[in-house]
Structure 1
Amino acid sequence: MNRCAMTLAFKNPAVSVLRALGVALLPACLLLTACGGPGAATVDYPLAGAKIGGPFTLIDKSGKTVRWSDFDGHYRIVYFGYTFCPDACPTDVAVAMRGLDIYAKTHGAQADALRPIFISIDPARDTPQVVGQFAAAFSPRLIGLTGTPQQVDAAAKAFAAYYARGKDSADGGYLMDHSRSAFLMAPNGDPITMLPVDRGPQAVADDLAKWIK
């Protein structure tokens, strides 16, 4: 699990990461899930049959309701994090988006049809506007979503994503513990693989080329 450093106000930590991706990448903490029994997917995906993904109802930057079913027919990248994290989340998301840009150079149509999604696990601070600013700092492709605590919790449980609020500091801030997995999901919503954001943008691009057909 990762403990992200506390930030008292949204200062767009994405910008510094985007300017200095030459720094060593933090290792991803991967949350393993149980696989399904009879009737599980037979496609030879690394996560075939894993219980990852499911219905959710969240809110985008404009306050519009967004459902998991809205992405039916599209490959998707799904990452759970929070905007006040100045290290792990910006690094992971920046690598994923740079990998998508590399992939797009040779697979433009497929990249345009893919939907990268960032879901906040800190709805108390991550308003629709804040999540929208965070997503836009990385890519116009990235869709930032938040919601009520109940909506966020339901989405996290559907994707077996761990998160927990840390203790309040003396100045009222707090950290969030959370798993760090960038899931690639199939057009029918099944999990395909966890993208290797810990190995850099080219590794992400290579995996997208391998699994998106």
Structure 2
Amino acid sequence: MAGRTRLLLVLTAAIVTVGIAAAVGYRAFETEKAPAGSTVASLGIGGPINLVAASGARFTSADLEGKPHAIFFGFTHCPNVCPTTLSDLTLDLDDLGPLADRLKVLFVSVDPERDTPQIMKDYLSAFDPRIIGLTGTPTEIAAIAKDYHVFYEKVPTADGDYTMNHTAGVYLMNAKGEFTGTISFEEERDVQIAKLKRLANG
């Protein structure tokens, strides 16, 4: 894809909207077209990581150990998109077999107000243990979201609580931290696995 003069950056962003009865709706961002002559790696997506892991320890880019990684932004109170995506990634990692050890999978909370490290740890216990949960201060989350061109916003609900609208694509980053593509929400499993295999193989 990097050699093409015209690229289609699929930042599919299914948006979660929870109504009074916790009904879930989705809205996809418009597909963005990269400027002629650009490459995927030149799109400016990605940046340094310096957050808190579900273990409570600080997690930085150095902890990626120079491995490619898949990074997904969501929140633990998400009713559909996040558990579905994390379940898919769990199955993907299992299907990859030994190849899964060549990459890292990160889940970054866009709801740091509620998603403490312990909450993240409890939530992720239902998924593959290799998925690394990350949270931080609102400022830290805003910074990494900006680096990855991730949209998120707090939306009040009728019961006085709130939910989060957020980008729902999984970002695929190579060992140099360069953006190589995305996995869209509920993309066909064979397509997901093929993309992750390419990522793991460098």
So what's the TM-score if we normalise by structure 2? 0.80
String of CA shifts for 1:37-66, please: whole Å, max 9, x gaps: 99x76xxxxx33221110131101122111
Q: CA deviation at 1:156?
A: 0.6
1:32-181 aligned within 5 A:
47-104=40-97, 108=98, 110-170=99-159, 172-181=160-169
Q: Which has the higher contact order (CA 8 A, sep 6+)?
A: 1
Unaligned runs of 5+ in 1: 7-25, 42-46
Alignment partner of 1:5 out of 14, 18, 22 = 18
Q: Which amino acid aligns with 1:99?
A: D
Q: CA deviation at 1:200?
A: 3.4
Aligned sequence identity (%): 30
Q: CA deviation at 1:175?
A: 1.1
Alignment size in residue pairs = 184
**Which SS does the other structure have where 1:49 is aligned?**
helix
Alignment partner of 1:186 out of 153, 162, 174 = 174
String of CA shifts for 1:94-149, please: whole Å, max 9, x gaps: 11221222122xxx1x3112110000000001010111122221111100000111
Moved over 4 A (4+): 30-38
Structure number with the higher strand fraction is 2
Q: 2:75·2:111 contact (CA, 8 Å) conserved in 1?
A: yes
Q: 2:100·2:200 contact (CA, 8 Å) conserved in 1?
A: no
Distance 2:46 2:132 in 1: 17
1:19 matched to which residue of 2? none
2:198 matched to which residue of 1? 210
**Superposition RMSD in Å:** 2.7
Distance 2:138 2:77 in 1: 17
Q: Which amino acid aligns with 2:18?
A: A
Unaligned runs of 5+ in 2: 1-13, 20-24
Shift in CA distance, 204/28, structure 1 to aligned 2, threshold 3 Å:
farther
So what's the TM-score if we normalise by structure 1? 0.76
Q: 2:16·2:164 contact (CA, 8 Å) conserved in 1?
A: yes
Q: 1:99·1:202 contact (CA, 8 Å) conserved in 2?
A: no
Distance 2:191 2:86 in 1: 14
Q: CA deviation at 1:28?
A: 8.4
